[in-house]
Amino acid sequence: MTQPDTIPFCAAADPFPQPAGARPPQGSCDTHAHVFGPAERYPYTANRSYTPPDAPPGAYLHLHRTLGIERGVLVQPSVYGTDNRLMVDTLHYLQQQGLQYKGVAVVDADISERELDQLARAGVCGVRMNLLFKGGIAWRDVESLARRLAERSWHLQFLIDVSEFEQLEARIRSLPTPVVIDHMGHMNVANGLHHPGFQALLRLVEDARAWVKLSGSYRITNQPLPPYTDVLPFAQALVGANPQQMLWGSDWPHPHFGRPMPGDGPLLSLLADWVPDEALRRRILVDNPARLYGFPSC
């Protein structure tokens, strides 16, 4: 078990977000964000890799209103393990206001059908597998869950480094559920476009066996601030492989990140650099997430 005095504290996101250079189209979706705290009500798991500052639902909504985002997907962070209460409570809060938000949970391998039903009623439509940070779900658990999730038309989401994950392509092709890969594969760009792990990811995207979130560019770059030009060829390669399998996410409030904190407006503006075609950007921001998460068509 991790000792509390060795768990690093995270920096907070910018409390005064700025809009992107251009307002996104109606129905745009942020497919990757988290809420945190207060710890007195929603305690963190002892076996975690970081301790975040509070990031409440009000700040999350303020971010989306500033950016012009109308839909969102909350992702269960590793610091809560399989305790999805905060995410579920937040989804109920957002839905009571008539807003369109979904969730991706972390669950135990032996979770009951009743508990899955409760998550589904809250708007959960996927399960996350985290192999980077402590507290996430393990691969063997996902294998045992995959058939049950497929019957519900749920998807599996993976936080992995494609340069280090063994048998990436074969494992994903064997699963009966749609698969979503976080943060463009979470591989440092110094590994290069031709790294076998990234090439495997491109093949999966090309064959529509994986969705990829165009998110977390600041996690894979070797540059301190946007526009992260070294990420551009990787984003363009993924979009070029199959734009219908691309999603966008803010990764707000950017937890477990030790370099200069990026602004959320500039992060959204990067999408216009990566995808100059307006129709393709609309597909990534609106149409693709509606198809995967079940939002109404705009």
With bands split at pLDDT 50, 70 and 90, how would you rate the model's confidence at 136?
Answer: low
State how far the Cα of 1 lies from the Cα of 291, in Å rounded to an integer.
Answer: 40
Among all residues, which ones are annotated catalytic? 251
Assess whether the previous peptide bond of 227 is cis (omega < 30° from 0): yes
pLDDT in tens, 163-181: 998 889 999 999 999 999 9
Nearest Cα neighbor of 263 from 277, 278, 252, 248 is 252
pLDDT in tens, 251-281: 999 999 989 999 999 999 999 999 999 999 9
With bands split at pLDDT 50, 70 and 90, how would you rate the model's confidence at 1?
Answer: very low
State how far the Cα of 253 lies from the Cα of 261, in Å rounded to an integer.
Answer: 10
Over residues 204-217, mean pLDDT: 98
CB 34 within 8 A of CB 77: yes
For the cut 60, the answer to whether the pLDDT of residue 137 exceeds it is no
| Mean of per-residue pLDDT scores for the chain | 94
Query: Looking at residue 26, what DSSP letter applies?
Result: T
For the cut 70, the answer to whether the pLDDT of residue 138 exceeds it is no
pLDDT in tens, 229-256: 999 999 999 999 999 999 999 999 999 9
Q: Which amino acid is located at 287 in the chain?
A: D
With bands split at pLDDT 50, 70 and 90, how would you rate the model's confidence at 4?
Answer: low
The structural domains of the chain, with segments of one domain joined by +, span 4-293
Q: Which amino acid is located at 234 in the chain?
A: F
What is the model's pLDDT at position 52? 96
Q: Look-up: residue for tokens 């092709």? A: 173
With bands split at pLDDT 50, 70 and 90, how would you rate the model's confidence at 132?
Answer: low
Task: Copy the structure tokens of residue 237.
Answer: 């390669």
Q: What are phi and psi of 244, to 5 degrees?
A: -75, -5
State how far the Cα of 63 lies from the Cα of 88, in Å rounded to an integer.
Answer: 19
Over residues 10-37, mean pLDDT: 96
For the cut 70, the answer to whether the pLDDT of residue 134 exceeds it is no
Query: Architecture of domain 4-293 in CATH?
Result: Alpha-Beta Barrel (3.20)
pLDDT in tens, 90-130: 999 999 999 999 999 999 888 999 999 999 999 999 999 87
What percentage of the chain reaches a pLDDT higher than 70? 95
Q: Which amino acid is located at 154 in the chain?
A: W
